Structures are given as C-alpha cells and as structure tokens.
Structure 1
C-alpha cells in the first residue's frame, strides 16, 4: 500500500465555559462537563460490551486463520443458529484507512459501505451470487479497538494464490481463461456501480471449488472507493509491487486503466510458474510474457500491461477480446 490517505477528522463544535469566581458555582461549572464526559464514556463502554457480547452469542470463531494482511486477519467460524460457515475479519482501529459517510450521516468503514451498497440490489443476504460477485457481508461490529466484519464463507474454496500453488505454480491456460472471464465481468459490474476496488490480486480472489467449473468471488474491499465518471486520483491505494506505470510518470491513478492493469497482473501470475509480478521488473524487461502461451492469450496480456494507460483497452473492450470467447 502506498501513502495511505488519512481520513480527515470531523469538526467538533466549539464550547465555551464561563467561570464564576469563588463559591459553589465555579465547581459546578467545571464538574458538570466532567460528569457528562464520564457518563458518555460509560455509555460507550457499555455499548461496546453489548456489541461484543452480541457477536460472541451469534458467531463461534475458530482458531483456523484463513488469511492475514497489512490491515487485519481473517479467521474461520460459523453462525451458531444454523451452522452457516463464516469468515470473521478483525481490523485494528488504526488500520481502517478509508471511511465513508452514508445517507444517514454515519461514518462507516469503506468496506462496510461498499458491501452494503452492493447488497442493496439483492433480494436477500444469501441469494445465488453472480459469477465473480463479492462475498456477502452478514454483520459488522464497530468495537472500541477493532472493527469486526462477518462475511459468508463459501465451502469448499481457496484463494487464487493457494489454488495456483496447489497446482504446481501455474494454471492451464483454459482454466485461467474461465477465471479471467468471470473476473473481467465482475470488474465491469463494479465499474457500472461506480465502485473502484483498487487492489484486485490473486490473494483477493476466492475460487469456489465445489463444482466442475470454478466460481470466482471477490474479497477485501478495504481499500476501495466510490468514484465519479472520469475521476483521477493523486494517491495510490493498493499493492506496491503492482502499481501501474503511470503512477511513476505522472502520479495519477484512474479507475479504468488501473483495473485493466490489475487484470493483466492476475493473469500473468496465474500463468507464469514461480513469477511474482513486479511493475518495475516488467518495465525493465526482466519479466516477460511467455511465448508458450497462445497468441490470443499473449495479446490479451500485452494489452492489459501496456505502459501507456491510454493504449490499454477499456474493461468493456477487454471483455470482448477474442481470447475470452
């Protein structure tokens, strides 16, 4: 992650205390705000305890760690009521970098806000998801020292990074094509909903493995943002090794070209055994596209990984590429 943009604090209303010299009035004026502050802190403490108790009563967390990153850790668990498998994500208070104020004036983690926005269009929290759809957010608990997110946990599944490792360090081209087609469709859907994931990579792609055709599910929207058409940003959120080339040349980050670049990074790491993609190495030609791949696949990769963002196709153009047919 590069240079996280801090969330500006909310402005507090100014207060004035008028002191009357001597007598009991002075003590009352000073002690009144102290008592009010203590009552407020006691109320917040009670609410935090109630929220944690609610979480522990509703979900059983296990010791099995599913993943960890710079912002938190994810553990397996299940919902006590019906045994539904869940993934429980813990994010320390100081690592909720991106926030959003919703229609009701609530300040939410951007991950919560985005997941809620995406789920507004579904008929129920666990309807049949589209291919490439994000995992559903079931609950969230904003506690004193951490944010806890509870997501559905498809079973069986694994992230794409481990799927690649388990299959010898790369996937067959035809299998990679199935995954990329779903991934591009998911990226187009997010774009149409004005959501920029910002950190699409093999670690953030779940593969449901319970059927003949792998199903892609996107995870980890903790660095995402809501965007307007034509938006460009002066700060980059995401994995440093995958930063798009235009960041080095002009310090600009546009959602469409950056997401197309990330499609190329995912495909490169999926098809090249033992190669962790690094933008600088690719620009220096010490990482190259394998000539053993089909011509259409090589063309797809070259287009995604064009150094000039203006020469990359749009996501919708990428979806029509002949390799994905």
Structure 2
C-alpha cells in the first residue's frame, strides 16, 4: 500500500497531496502508437449529464422512459458537448475493437490492471484502468495541457526505445486512451512472468545469494538508466518488479510508473509518494528526500526482502527489530549495509553500486 504523506512539496508541486493507495510475452518487435487519444471532454459531457442511468429501460413518474429522457438531454447539448461525447464513444469503441480484456491481475488505490491481448495478433497486453480522480501526478505536455505523469514518462521511454517492445527493462506502453472519466493504458505483458514477491515464494520463500545477485545487478542498471533520463520511479519494490521466467536466467522488468516523476538534479521532495513501510529514514528525520539516495535505499529494501523470509519495515529496521543474516557473504552484507545507511549522504550512488564488488 502506498500513500503520499501530508506535507508541502517544493520540488514536486505538480502532484496532488491526496492519499494514493498502491498495490501492484514473447519478445517481439511491434509498432508503438505514440499517442492514441480521444480528446478529454469538459465538465458537461453527456456521460456527466446522464450519470447513473441504467441500461434497462424503465419509466419515470411522468411516464417517460429514461432512454427517451437521455435522448432529449442529448438533443439540448451544445455542438462542443456532442463532439466531446462522440470523441469519447469513438475512443472506447476503438479500444474495444483492438483489444480483448480478460481477468484482473491486480488492483490498487490508483486503478486496476487486467490481462488481455491485441486482437490482430493475440499479442499479450496488460490493460490498466485509471480513474481521472486518481491521477495524482500531472505534467504539462507540449501543448500546455495537463497530462498524467505516468503517460508522459512512458511515452518518453517508448520514444527512446525506438519502437521496440521487450528490449528495455521498463515494460513498454503500446497505446493509451483518454475516455473522459478514466485513462486506459495498454502495456506490454511479458509472458511467462511473475512479480518478485511471487517469484520468491515459488523458490522457497528466500532467494539464494547468487540468484539475488543476478536480479539486483539488472535492477541497479535499470534504475541507473532511469536516473540518466531524469525519471524517478519512487516505488521500486517486489510487487513492481516482474521476473521473466522463460529462460534459465531470470530477467528483470519494471512496472507501475503511477507515482513516478521527472526529476531535476537538485530536486528535493517533501511529499512522500511510495510505500509507507519503505520510507527512507531522512523523511522521518528531515521531512524531505531526494531521488538518488531514496532509490539506493529501495535497492537495499528489495535485496533484504529477497534474502530474508520477512517483509521490510523502515520503522522496525530503525528500532533494530530487523537484522541482516550473518551467513551471507561479506560482500553481500556490505552491499546491504551501504544501501541501508541511515544518513542519505553515506549511501553510495547508483554508479558506485554498479561497481560494487558484490555485483562484479
């Protein structure tokens, strides 16, 4: 579960300080639709006017059917409202014509994710539904319109991947639809794959040090690449790390950029977005945090949970209720100690982690 804490943020003013609850393929090249959008309707679209109307036709107290009532309301709509309604219906129809939605994969405070596939070639996809009132982080696009940061970041990543799906560690955005009251993101769905928590459970509740090393090396490289692109994920954890299991060597994929943001070199954040259990100590002590040290802290949390049969809690770690296994190698313990240093300035940078002896 993830929440933004109730403090004012000087470096993250585009994000609303509302509670955000979080949960949580065959490799082939496929063209990415850079933008597939039905223009957002204004506050008086037909869907708002007839909110709560059931599909079943029933008579009201004057004997007029609700279906007829809806038609009457639509007759009185302005041209702009009719166009907005048509645009939303067209976007929904286009989505349904291109994709089949199947069982639910997960649900959190920002929306729900479903398995599905693209009709034309049965390419596996994940379909993410995000209610507009749960889009907590926004940024202005090239036209000055406010856009979901998750969409903006994934469009940036897709553009820099040059249209290839399955190449980068972050899963690819294939298309997205703005349906007025919700966004639909159609994402690459690696198959077969499970999140790191399930992968750990399927492998005896803890991973061997060698397996954890393979995963952490890929993860550190991936978040370093994000940092170089000025992207701060903010919620790297087991549930947001997919492990592709189709080969002998597990492959890391990163999902869920719903709380992410674009970051400047010296950005300082005073609103916490992420998993409360994993809040870095500096937020408790100084009521602020930065991108690099926080991401390194999260590397320590991920590794700790991979190697121990328990969940990590910053509060329990600070009160010494959690300890690092003594049977781990000296280099591994050193890696964990460095990532989980209480003072952010004492943690290594991501580049230094890449050069750490344990990952060499």
What range is the shorter-chain TM-score in? 0.7 to 0.9
Residue number among 1, 4, 26 corresponding to 1:2 in the alignment: 4
User: How big is the shift at 1:210?
Assistant: 0.5
Q: Normalising by structure 1, what TM-score?
A: 0.87
Residue number among 90, 97, 101 corresponding to 1:50 in the alignment: 90
Once residues 209 and 143 of structure 2 are traced to their aligned partners in structure 1, the CA distance between those partners, rounded to angstroms, is: 47
Once residues 42 and 196 of structure 1 are traced to their aligned partners in structure 2, the CA distance between those partners, rounded to angstroms, is: 40
Residue number among 198, 221, 229 corresponding to 1:193 in the alignment: 229
The 8 Å contact of residues 125 and 138 in structure 1, kept in 2 or not, is answered as no
User: How big is the shift at 1:37?
Assistant: 7.0
Q: Normalising by structure 2, what TM-score?
A: 0.79
Instruction: Report the 3-state secondary structure (helix = DSSP H, G, I; strand = E; otherwise coil) of the residue aligned with 1:124.
Output: coil
Superposed, 1:1-325 pairs within 5 Å as: 1-3=3-5, 5-6=15-16, 38-62=78-102, 64-126=103-165, 128-130=166-168, 133-273=169-309, 275-325=310-360
Once residues 92 and 200 of structure 1 are traced to their aligned partners in structure 2, the CA distance between those partners, rounded to angstroms, is: 23
User: How big is the shift at 1:36?
Assistant: 9.9
Match of 2:69 in 1: none
Instruction: Report the 3-state secondary structure (helix = DSSP H, G, I; strand = E; otherwise coil) of the residue aligned with 1:88.
Output: strand
CA offsets, 1:137-184, max 9 Å, x none?
A: 001111122111000111111111111111121111100100000000
CA offsets, 1:286-319, max 9 Å, x none?
A: 0111111111111100100011001000010011
User: Which structure has the higher relative contact order (CA within 8 Å, separation 6+)?
Assistant: 2
Instruction: Report the 3-state secondary structure (helix = DSSP H, G, I; strand = E; otherwise coil) of the residue aligned with 2:338.
Output: helix
Aligned length: 295
Once residues 170 and 99 of structure 2 are traced to their aligned partners in structure 1, the CA distance between those partners, rounded to angstroms, is: 21
Write out the 4+ residue segments of structure 1 that deviate beyond 4 Å after TM superposition: none
RMSD: 1.8
